[in-house]
Copies of this chain bind each other. A is one copy, B any other.
């Protein structure tokens, strides 16, 4: 006997998501808690996997289970599949374990053919309705199952509407719909070489296969990649009796959330359309009405729906996204699922659900997607500045974005990938636009509501979006956009504010975000839970203050090279580099010392009572000299166009050629692997000596002023223990000297970056000389992969990601297989010779949740990231701690 591939709704439950998919499990759950769900059954995800495993053959034994299940629907609904006198129609929908809205295919009204349509017409006494269903079904089946291009159906429909001189589909007469059906059937014969299949069972089998196939469309693959969904879990197929929202003005369909998905506020939020099928709402083709209107139109129905919605939320302990249909006054629940919401709404919902006693603090913390938090920390439009609002639309996804108006997704992808900021402007978006949405700063559509495709996808991705902006007209042919009548060419710059729906001329200044009280609450809960310390990377007192506000427990990485780059100092730095003698160099360093001391003073003061880890100079010296190409041009131009006999010209030439010589001498083939980091500190000890002195002098001053400071010195790029041994000794000597002269006590804490494989591989030799290790995962990733980030991301890395050689950009998400392996090895090795060693990470990965999980797994002590990512890191660390605890 073959496996059980088919589950009636009453046989399943919400625990069976893996097998039945999210939608199927929910339909089963709703059925079992007694809701009025149209009867149906689910074909399992296992059947889909079997289909792919067996080279796309319909799984053996599956059909034998489907036929009896159809019988069960017939019994429950009192209708017969294919019987003209009592026609059962069904929907066939995909439903993966994880929701992928709009990504896979759905077929409605399956079972219609010439005779059942006539039967339906007779039974409902509504020929218009029956033929409207029939023509929709042929088109949907034609597109999804038979692969006929959508525009071919649309063209026929437009033709007939023009012939009949009507604007809306619903104005077409039954006769016109008859004609439309015939033309559609002719199109099918023409395109496929066969007649449209009249046998409902044949329709059903083909439709199930089509859903299986829709798992592997290009757009579905891209979506899964973006959403980190595995490619091999497959989709279930849900077959369910149809109910009709388009059976006249006492019928309708709608979508509602139990809370506002934009703000998280608790009230019934949604939209409905009378005399319409669900697709009309979701696809954004007609703009629907707010659900509160239903109260006025039919308060009994509204109350009934409200109660169901509330009970579903209690049952699922989460905000629900519910689809419903009213067929001739009777309410059916078609689907419920955990609703997607904006980041700020998610937080409010999680906090309030916890406060309402539905979930625990841990559960609340787990619910927040740290990736989404980033959006809340983005800047928003500065309302104190004057700007020109061109139009208003629906505030479909909060946040603000500026960029060039771009009208098609391919171009948007091209420009966006190249680093340009674009706003994708479309009449409406479809799942085929996903690649354009992905790179855009925001989305602006002229049609569709708050639950249209553009709105749902944008909210999920945390992109600003404005939908249904009626003042917007687009001419794709001339590449012009008209906003409230004013013409804009493609490429003109606009700003959109998805929080308010304002479309604004040009680029508008933005300002820092405020964190909501709920945000603060969830972060406090996260702090209670997490075990990893969260520090920030900050190079000045301003950033340090910001980091502290965001909850950083110290500075994990303070880079000193930016201080060298300041225009007022660069001249001195260049003097130091160009020095011919040690004395000249020391003179320049002496001039830098008080400046550096001031820098460190500011940062240490801002972080009073917290540690500040200062990395000594890291980049190669040539980074502080002028660009060689420009120098060369200057020199050649002087030589070829000026009077080289002139004394002043000669002097200038001499100076520039001197500079060029030094630039050439310092030039490196591979600066990333060159004379930098502690290699500078070893060969020019006076540079590090100056920095060290500045650090301890600043600390001494603050201590005398009553502050509590913890400077930590971090030596970059160590690959051999001798480097650290030598530099640690120099650092300690200077620190002791300062303490003696200044008569203060400053804790001496010295550690090293682990950025090169050799440091990790010989961690046991290095650890005895270190108080802490700090993984520089950016450089480590570069060295382990042999990817120069500057080169890879512009050249071959996009290709590697697109062709699935790499699943993730290893500079964004830590590569556990390679980089992670050597990190884990390093930690284990190091703790063997120095059990008290503190180990952390200070690359950009420190703010990436999946990478934080890994840090927790290999027992690091802290993570350090940019100030704006500190809240994400706090939350991520809490989630990692929960996961680790759950594993135990």
Contact = CB atoms under 8 A, between A and B. Distances in A.
A799 to B, nearest CB: 5
A353 to B, nearest CB: 42
B720 A806 contact: yes
Interface stretch (A480-488, A552-560, A667-675): A667-675
Given A640-B641, A675-B795, A786 B758 contact: yes
A268 B583 CA distance: 60
Contacts of A787: 673, 719
Interface string A623-638: 0000011001100110
| Interface-centre pick from A791, A795, A819 (highest chain B CB count, 10 A) | A791
8 contacts: A670-B790, A673-B783, A682-B800, A682-B805, A719-B787, A758-B786, A758-B818, A758-B819
Contacts of A197: none
A784 B805 contact: no
A478 interface: no
A758 B762 CA distance: 17
| Interface-centre pick from A675, A683, A762, A806 (highest chain B CB count, 10 A) | A675
Interface string A796-821: 10011001111000000001011101
A636 B629 contact: no
Nearest to A722: B805
A821 B757 CA distance: 11
A669 B783 CA distance: 14
B786 A719 contact: yes
B805 A723 contact: yes
Interface in A317-369: none
Contact of A818 (B628, B679, B757): B757
B670 A791 contact: yes
Contacts of A226: none
Contacts of A722: 804-806
Nearest to A798: B683
A639 to B, nearest CB: 9
Contacts of A640: 636-637, 640-641
A674 B633 contact: no
Given A669-B671, A806-B720, A682 B758 contact: no
| Interface-centre pick from A673, A785, A786, A818 (highest chain B CB count, 10 A) | A786
Given A719-B818, A805-B726, A806-B720, A668 B786 contact: no
Contacts of A720: 805-806
Contact of A672 (B636, B673, B758, B815): B673
Given A672-B786, A783-B784, 5 more contacts: A669-B671, A670-B671, A671-B791, A758-B815, A758-B818
Nearest to A718: B786
B675 A673 contact: no
Contacts of A788: 668-674
A717 B792 CA distance: 14
Nearest to A815: B758
Interface in A539-573: none
A761 interface: yes
Contacts of A815: 758
A782 interface: yes
A756 interface: yes
Nearest to A819: B758
A832 to B, nearest CB: 14
Interface residues of A, number: 57
A170 B638 CA distance: 72
B757 A783 contact: yes
A668 B637 CA distance: 26
Interface of A: 628-629, 632-633, 636-637, 640-641, 668-675, 679, 682-683, 717, 719-720, 722-723, 726, 755-758, 761-762, 765, 779, 782-788, 790-792, 795-796, 799-800, 803-806, 815, 817-819, 821-822
Given A632-B629, A636-B640, A761 B786 contact: no
A51 B679 CA distance: 35
Closest 7 CB pairs of A and B: A670-B788, A673-B788, A756-B786, A758-B818, A674-B791, A669-B790, A722-B805
Contacts of A633: 632, 636
A447 B785 CA distance: 58
A761 B637 contact: no
| Interface-centre pick from A637, A720, A757 (highest chain B CB count, 10 A) | A757
Contacts of A762: 817-818, 821
Given A636-B633, A723-B805, A822 B757 contact: yes
A497 to B, nearest CB: 38
A786 B783 contact: yes
Contact of A786 (B726, B755, B818): B755
A851 B99 CA distance: 56
A725 to B, nearest CB: 9
Contacts of A636: 633, 636-637, 640
B761 A796 contact: no
A674 B792 contact: yes
Contacts of A791: 668-671, 673-675
A632 B779 CA distance: 32
A782 B756 CA distance: 10
A752 B856 CA distance: 34
Nearest to A677: B786
A737 to B, nearest CB: 22
A785 B670 contact: no
A822 B670 CA distance: 23
A679 B796 contact: yes
A765 B815 CA distance: 14
B782 A757 contact: no
A668 B782 CA distance: 14
Given A669-B671, A719-B818, A785 B806 contact: no
Given A632-B629, A632-B633, A673 B818 contact: no
B782 A673 contact: yes
Contacts of A683: 795-796, 799
B669 A669 contact: no
A273 to B, nearest CB: 48
A683 B798 CA distance: 10
A629 to B, nearest CB: 6
A137 B722 CA distance: 43
A788 B669 CA distance: 8
B632 A796 contact: no
A791 B672 CA distance: 10
| Interface-centre pick from A668, A682, A790, A804 (highest chain B CB count, 10 A) | A668
A616 to B, nearest CB: 16
B782 A758 contact: no
| Interface-centre pick from A637, A640, A679 (highest chain B CB count, 10 A) | A679
A417 B362 CA distance: 65
A688 to B, nearest CB: 14
Nearest to A629: B632
Contacts of A821: 761-762
Contacts of A628: 629
Contacts of A679: 795-796
B674 A673 contact: no
Nearest to A806: B720
A496 B68 CA distance: 101
A719 B785 contact: yes
A231 to B, nearest CB: 14
Nearest to A799: B683
Nearest to A805: B722
B756 A785 contact: yes
Contacts of A682: 796, 799-800, 803, 805
Given A670-B673, A804-B722, A761 B782 contact: no
